């Protein structure tokens, strides 16, 4: 009879950093519930965080893939704005809803293909190419319109209304202190799209050959070549997927806001990068997970909610706090990985 106990496999760097991000979010939110009460005691607070940040979650998923592969894409926020503006103008001219979705996907795909080709096959630095892509997308958005374009299309208004009112969960609601009525918890359709993107990208990274290739080229490009991985094609596909997700995020943003605006996704690329890093994705590549990125986004949003609820509710305190937390997470990642590396050498 074999009495040997099966040895448990240690967590990988990706799993460890993701676990840390999840634990920090849980502790931070519980602390907010105990310290500020108010909206933090209602499930709707978490739902509102998801409703407001569904486009950011989608964009951050795309950036996670690119960063795992050792790249960077700072054009995603501008592409998201361009998609929202293009679709709003098209719909206001009496366009077809299905075609507007194809326009969103087409714009994202075009940027992904162009930038991916220049970075992967011509081997131009990704920061330079995506910086040019950011300026191009912003310029095109401004050419289309410098003013916000509210969508007046009847079918889109119906979709927007469905987006905001389709998913209602009464038993997770709360009693209004003003009139005693039950206010059901409401989750937008855009959140379902965002969560679907998270699940699909998670499955791609975990089980598909292409997903494993992203980790391989980000970890060690030379080793990836020796394993027979087509490095150029794999890197190219990371930017294509990121571009398509930016297109989806642009349409989800339009569903949420109801208007195209040249500034409504300003800074989204930096928030997405911050969310990915806080969630455990390394800028050097080879380590990361979209589940961690999702919780990284929630941590960022929780920080902003706490700042708003505190006496330090001026807008600049949100940025200062976010910057400070980002530095702390980068240092934490470095310390954790350094300790694990020393432990493996012993």
| Largest Cα–Cα separation, the chain | 77
Q: How confident is the model at residue 9 (pLDDT cuts 50, 70, 90)?
A: low
Q: What is the pLDDT of residue 343?
A: 63
Higher pLDDT residue, 268 or 172? 268
For residue 193, give every residue at least 6 positions away whose Cβ sits within 8 Å of its Cβ, in sequence order, or none. Answer: 54, 58, 248, 252
Higher pLDDT residue, 202 or 262? 202
Q: How confident is the model at residue 297 (pLDDT cuts 50, 70, 90)?
A: very high
Q: What is the pLDDT of residue 177?
A: 65
Smallest Cα–Cα separation from 65: which of 54, 76, 78? 76
Residue 115 has pLDDT above 80, yes or no: yes
Residue 162 has pLDDT above 90, yes or no: no
Q: What is the pLDDT of residue 170?
A: 73
Residue 324 has pLDDT above 70, yes or no: yes
Q: How far is it, in rounded angstroms, from Cα 230 to Cα 48?
A: 42
Cβ proximity of 277 and 326 under 8 Å: yes
Q: Domains of the chain: which residue ranges?
A: 54-301+317-328
- Quick one: what percent of the chain has pLDDT higher than 90? 51
Q: How far is it, in rounded angstroms, from Cα 311 to Cα 40?
A: 16
Separation in Å, CA 5 to CA 1, 2, 10, 12, 58:
12, 9, 15, 21, 42
What is the end-to-end Cα distance of the chain in Å, rounded? Answer: 33
Residue 180 has pLDDT above 70, yes or no: no
Question: Which of 51-65, 101-115, 235-249, 266-280 comes out lowest in average pLDDT?
Answer: 266-280
Higher pLDDT residue, 159 or 342? 159
The dotted CATH code for 54-301+317-328 is 1.10.3470
Q: What average pLDDT score do residues 277-290 get?
A: 89
Residue 1 has pLDDT above 50, yes or no: no
Cβ proximity of 196 and 189 under 8 Å: no
Higher pLDDT residue, 307 or 134? 134
Higher pLDDT residue, 313 or 299? 299
């Amino acid at each position: 009879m074999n009495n040997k106990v099966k040895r448990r496999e240690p967590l990988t760097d990706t799993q460890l950093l993701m676990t840390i991000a999840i634990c920090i979010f849980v502790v931070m939110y519980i602390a907010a519930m105990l310290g500020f009460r108010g909206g933090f005691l209602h499930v709707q607070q978490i739902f509102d965080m998801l409703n407001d940040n569904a486009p950011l979650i989608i964009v951050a998923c795309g950036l996670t893939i690119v960063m795992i592969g050792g790249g960077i894409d700072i054009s995603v926020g501008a592409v998201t704005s361009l998609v929202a503006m293009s679709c709003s103008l098209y719909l206001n001219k009496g366009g077809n809803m299905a075609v507007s979705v194809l326009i969103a996907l087409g714009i994202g795909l075009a940027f992904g293909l162009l930038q991916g080709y220049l970075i992967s096959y011509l081997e131009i630095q990704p920061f330079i190419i995506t910086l040019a892509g950011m300026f191009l997308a912003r310029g095109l958005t401004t050419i289309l319109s410098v003013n916000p374009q509210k969508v007046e299309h009847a079918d889109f208004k119906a979709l927007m209304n469905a987006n905001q009112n389709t998913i209602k969960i009464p038993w997770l609601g709360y009693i209004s202190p003003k009139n005693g009525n039950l206010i059901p918890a409401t989750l937008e359709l855009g959140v379902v799209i965002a969560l679907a993107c998270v699940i699909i990208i998670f499955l791609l990274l975990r089980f598909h050959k292409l997903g494993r290739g992203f980790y391989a080229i980000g970890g060690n490009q030379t080793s990836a070549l020796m394993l027979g991985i087509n490095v150029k094609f794999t890197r190219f596909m990371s930017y294509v997927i990121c571009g398509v997700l930016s297109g989806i995020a642009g349409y989800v943003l339009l569903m949420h806001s109801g208007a195209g605006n040249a500034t409504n996704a300003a800074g989204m690329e930096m928030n997405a990068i911050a969310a990915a890093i806080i969630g455990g994705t390394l800028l050097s590549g080879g380590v990361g997970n979209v589940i961690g990125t999702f919780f990284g986004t929630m941590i960022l949003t929780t920080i902003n909610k706490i700042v708003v609820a505190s006496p330090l509710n001026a807008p600049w305190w949100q940025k200062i706090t976010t910057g400070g937390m980002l530095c702390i997470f980068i240092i934490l990642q470095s310390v954790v990985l350094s300790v694990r590396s020393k432990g493996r050498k012993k």
